Amino acid sequence: MGALSSSTLSVVIFSVSIPSLTFAVLLVYNLAQYKKEGRNVKEALTRTIIPTLVTALITIAFWMGLFCWSVAATIYREHNALVAAVPTAKQQQKDVDDRALQDLQTKVDELEKHLPQEHPQCWVRNYAVPAVSSPSPWGLATILCNTTIKPPYSVELHYDQSVTVGPFTFPVGSEFAKSEEYNEGTKIVALFDLHTIIPNEPFSIMATGSKDKFPLVQAGVIRAKGIALEFHP
């Protein structure tokens, strides 16, 4: 065998060889001394065993101390390595999360590109207003838009008969509607300079007709800065 290494075999050989060599050297020496002095050989054997046991205990204690030191050093190194690895692991996880979020955002953007675009639009529905004390029946036209329309804007409605404009009604809690209304034959025009039309929030216009039937809106248009939204029932 070459030079001793730190392998388990080397440790076992070294641990056994030291007490064995001590026992052999002391036994030879004590036997020679006791024969020369004519003393009992058993005493030489007893005198040899005690130092051998002491040597064995010292060897065991040495290796136990070395083992404990090795375990402590290993734990210390592993702890330092773990402490050093935590920031790196956190940064790697952050990079993974950022890439995943970026990929998700990219997919969302691609999906939005393929979604059909919703164009600004308005709708109108006609309703009868029963039990109103008037020579002519009243009609109620409710308008709903899918976009925000900020003042100033105008609402123009065309009826199937000559009408007289009535009140405009807006959802409770909306802005105060400062307006100016007038009618010309079958047309009603209202100008608003305060109220904002909110998407999917309907508002209504009442009008009384000139015939025995309820007045019905046939067409309408809302005009504001940069837009003109036409609608029909």
pLDDT at 19: 65
pLDDT, residue 164, reads 87
Instruction: State the Cα–Cα distance between residues 128 and 105, nearest whole angstrom.
Output: 49
Inside any domain, residue 162 = yes
* Residue 179 domain flag: yes
Amino acid at 193: D
Residue where a domain terminates, one of 63, 92, 113: 113
Q: Are 212 and 225 in contact (CB under 8 A)?
A: no
Confidence class of residue 66 from pLDDT cuts 50, 70 and 90?
confident
Is 105 found in the same domain as 75? yes
Domain count, the chain: 2
Q: According to DSSP H, which parts of the chain are helical? A: 8-37, 41-114
Q: pLDDT tens across 118-166, in order?
A: 788 899 998 877 756 567 788 899 999 998 898 889 999 999 999 988 8
Residue 218's SS3 state is strand
Q: Which range (5-19, 50-64, 145-159) has the least confidence?
A: 5-19
**Residue 89 · residue 108 · CB < 8 Å:** no
Does residue 41 carry a pLDDT above 60? no
Average pLDDT on 210-226 reads 89
Which of residues 113, 139, 164 is at a domain's end?
A: 113
- Is residue 86 scored above 50 in pLDDT? yes
For residue 152, say if its preceding peptide bond is cis, omega within 30 degrees of 0. yes
Q: Which two tokens stand for residue 45?
A: 């054997």
222 pLDDT band, cuts 50/70/90, is very high
Say which residue, 53 or 126, is predicted with more confidence.
126
What strands lie across the sheet with 163-169, from one edge to the other? 122-129, 138-145, 203-209, 163-169
Q: Is residue 3 part of a domain?
A: no
Query: Does one domain contain both 150 and 227?
Result: yes
221 touches 229 (CB < 8 A): yes
Whether residues 132 and 192 share a domain: the answer is yes
In a shared domain, residues 147 and 217: yes
Domain around 163: 122-231
- Place 182 in a pLDDT band, splitting at 50, 70 and 90: confident
Q: How far is CA 100 from the centre of its chain?
A: 10
Q: What is the pLDDT of residue 133?
A: 59
Mean pLDDT over all residues of the chain? 79
Residue 77 has pLDDT above 80, yes or no: yes
Does 72 share its domain with 151? no
pLDDT for 143 = 93
**Residue 183, SS3 per DSSP:** strand
Q: With bands split at pLDDT 50, 70 and 90, how would you rate the model's confidence at 55?
A: confident
Residue 94 lies in a domain: yes
* 139 lies in the same domain as 198: yes
